[in-house]
Amino acid sequence: MRISAAQRTENENRIRAAMDRLLRGEIPPGGKCDIKTLASEAAVDRTAFYGTRPYAHLRAEFERRVQAFQDAGEIPDPREAQIARLKAEVTKLRERLAQSEQTVDELTDFRGQSLARLAAQHEEIARLREIAAGTTRVSHLPAPRSTVIGSCS
């Protein structure tokens, strides 16, 4: 069915108004910042945005504006922004997890080395005590006296 020039202009105005709302982030529940939502918000058939249909130039304009927002680091769709934020957070958390695992591995190695050194030192002390007990050249000191004579000051 053909539409008049006035109807077409009215439809284009509704499409542009809906485009501006979507790009401001005013996205209806269950919608996205895409052509399907644009068509439903403007009350226009979605197929009119494709091919050689009358509003194909508006689809190209909308996609260009969405791309410009994304290139500028702004995402008009709050869900898309949330997805991007969550992906960045997941990446950051994975890096922290990898760093934590590396630290745990390093500390586990250090603990193993420390235990090995302590065991080696204990064996050395035990060996030296055996040697000291077997020789007579080592003189034992007398036990400390238990009674105090006079004042210490």
- Residue 1: the pLDDT is 62
Give the helix, strand, coil percentages of the chain, each rounded to 5.
Answer: 70, 0, 30
- Residue 136: the pLDDT is 62
- Residue 133: the pLDDT is 78
Residue ranges of the chain whose pLDDT lies below 70: 1, 75, 135-139, 147-153
Residue type, 1: M
Per-residue pLDDT of 52-96, as tens digits, reads 787 888 888 888 988 888 888 776 777 777 788 899 999 999 999
Alpha-carbon span 36 to 152, nearest angstrom: 98
- Residue 51: the pLDDT is 76
